[in-house]
A and B are shown apart, each in its own frame.
Chain A
Amino acid sequence: MPNFHRKLERSAIGFVLAIVGVSAIGGFVEIAPLFTIHETVEQAPDMRVYTPLEVAGRNIYIREGCYACHSQMIRTLRDEVERYGPFSLAVESQYDHPMLWGSKRTGPDLARVGGKYSDAWQVAHLINPRDVVPQSVMPRYAWLKRNGLKTDDLGLHLAAQRRVGVPYTDDMIANAGADAYGQANPDSPYASGVTARYGEATNVRAFDGSAGRLTEMDALVAYLQVLGRLTDAAQKTAAAQE
Chain B
Amino acid sequence: MVSGLTVSERRLALVIAGLIAVCGLAMAIVGRNDLIGAHGFIVLAFSLGVIALVATRYLDPEPPEDRLSQYYDDPTKAGIVLAMIWAVIGMFFGVWVAALLAWPDLTFDAAWASFGRLRPVHTSGVIFGFGGNALIATSLHVLQRTSRARLPDQFSPWFVLIGYNLFCVLAASGYFMGVTQSKEYAEPEWYADLWLVIVWVVYFLIYIRTLQRRKEPHIYVANWYYMAFILVVAILHIVNNLAVPVSLGHAKSYSLFSGVQDAMTQWWYGHNAVAFFLTAGFLGMMYYYLPKRAGRPIFSYRLSIISFWGITFMYMWAGSHHLHYTALPQWVQTLGMTFSIVLLVPSWASAGNALATLNGAWHKVRDDATLRFMMVAAVFYGLSTFEGSFMAIRAVNSLSHYTDWTIGHVHAGALGWVAMITFGSLYALVPWMWKQERIYSPALVEVHFWLALIGTIIYVFAMWNSGIIQGLMWRTYNDSGTLAYSFIDSLVAMRPYYIARTVGGLFFFAGAVVASYNIWMTIRMSRRAEAAGRDTVDVPASAALVPGE
Interface residues of A (CB under 8 A from B): 1-2, 5-6, 9-10, 12-13, 15-16, 19-20, 22-27, 29-31, 34-35, 37, 39-41, 59, 62-69, 71, 73, 75-77, 79-80, 82-83, 87-109, 129-130, 133, 135-143, 153, 156-157, 160-161, 163-166
Contacts and interface: CB of A to CB of B under 8 A. Distances in A.
Q: Which of A40, A66, A88 has the most CB of B within 10 A?
A: A40
Interface of B: 33, 100-102, 104-105, 107, 109-111, 114-117, 119-120, 175, 178-184, 208, 211-212, 217-219, 224, 227-228, 231-232, 235, 239, 243-247, 250, 252-266, 268, 301-302, 305, 309, 312-320, 322-329, 332, 335-336, 339, 398, 401-403, 406-407, 474-475, 477, 482-483, 487-488, 491-492, 498
Given A130-B104, A153-B246, A160-B244, 13 more contacts: A25-B313, A27-B316, A64-B111, A65-B182, A75-B325, A75-B398, A93-B327, A103-B322, A137-B102, A139-B107, A156-B246, A156-B250, A160-B246
Nearest to B211: A12
Q: Which of B175, B252, B327, B474 has the most CB of A within 10 A?
A: B327
Contacts of A94: 258-260
A56 to B, nearest CB: 11
A234 to B, nearest CB: 10
Contact of B104 (A95, A136, A143): A136
A10 B218 contact: yes
Given A30-B320, A89-B327, A139-B100, A20 B235 contact: yes
Given A16-B231, A82-B483, A34 B261 contact: yes
B262 A97 contact: yes
A219 B258 CA distance: 21
Given A12-B211, A160-B246, A83 B487 contact: yes
A15 B219 contact: yes
B225 to A, nearest CB: 10
Contact of B265 (A20, A31, A69): A31
Nearest to B213: A12
B317 A90 contact: no
Contacts of A76: 325
B104 A139 contact: yes
A137 B227 contact: no
Contacts of B483: 79, 82-83
- Which 10 residue pairs are nearest across A and B when measured between Cβ atoms? A65-B116, A26-B316, A75-B325, A26-B317, A93-B259, A98-B255, A63-B178, A90-B327, A12-B211, A105-B402
B268 A30 contact: yes
B258 A98 contact: yes
A19 B231 contact: yes
A136 B100 CA distance: 11
Contacts of B498: 137
A99 B398 contact: no
Contact of B224 (A9, A37, A75, A129): A9
A12 B317 contact: no
B151 to A, nearest CB: 15
Contacts of B336: 30
Contact of B115 (A19, A65, A160): A65
B102 A96 contact: no
Contacts of A40: 260-261, 329
Nearest to B484: A79
A237 to B, nearest CB: 11
Given A12-B208, A97-B258, A19 B228 contact: yes
B369 to A, nearest CB: 33
A25 B302 contact: no
Contacts of A41: 259-260
Given A88-B326, A135-B492, A156-B246, A161 B254 contact: yes
A90 B228 contact: no
Q: Which of B224, B243, B254, B318 has the most CB of A within 10 A?
A: B254
Contact of A160 (B175, B253, B262): B253
Contacts of B110: 143
B488 A62 contact: no
Contacts of A104: 402-403, 406-407
Nearest to A74: B326
A34 B231 contact: no
Contact of B326 (A29, A101, A133): A101
Contact of A2 (B104, B111, B117, B302): B302
A156 B474 CA distance: 42
Nearest to B103: A137
Contact of B258 (A1, A26, A30, A96): A96
Contacts of B475: 77, 79
Contact of A100 (B100, B182, B301): B182
27 contacts: A2-B302, A6-B218, A12-B219, A19-B227, A19-B231, A19-B232, A20-B235, A22-B309, A22-B312, A26-B315, A27-B316, A31-B264, A34-B332, A62-B180, A65-B182, A83-B483, A83-B487, A98-B182, A98-B262, A99-B258, A100-B182, A104-B403, A105-B402, A137-B101, A138-B104, A161-B254, A163-B244
B256 A139 contact: no
Contacts of A93: 258-260, 263, 327
Contacts of A10: 217-219
A142 B312 CA distance: 47
Contacts of A130: 104
A161 B256 CA distance: 9
Contact of A68 (B109, B116, B217, B247): B116
Contacts of A9: 218-219, 224
A96 B312 CA distance: 31
A6 B33 CA distance: 58
Contacts of A83: 474, 483, 487
A136 B491 contact: yes
Contacts of B252: 59, 157
Nearest to A41: B260
Contacts of B317: 26, 29-30
Given A75-B324, A96-B262, A142 B218 contact: no
A65 B120 contact: yes
Nearest to A1: B305
Contacts of A6: 218
A141 B498 CA distance: 22
B227 to A, nearest CB: 6
Contacts of B316: 23-27
A13 B312 CA distance: 17
Contact of B178 (A64, A96, A98, A135): A64
A161 B247 CA distance: 12
A71 B101 CA distance: 17
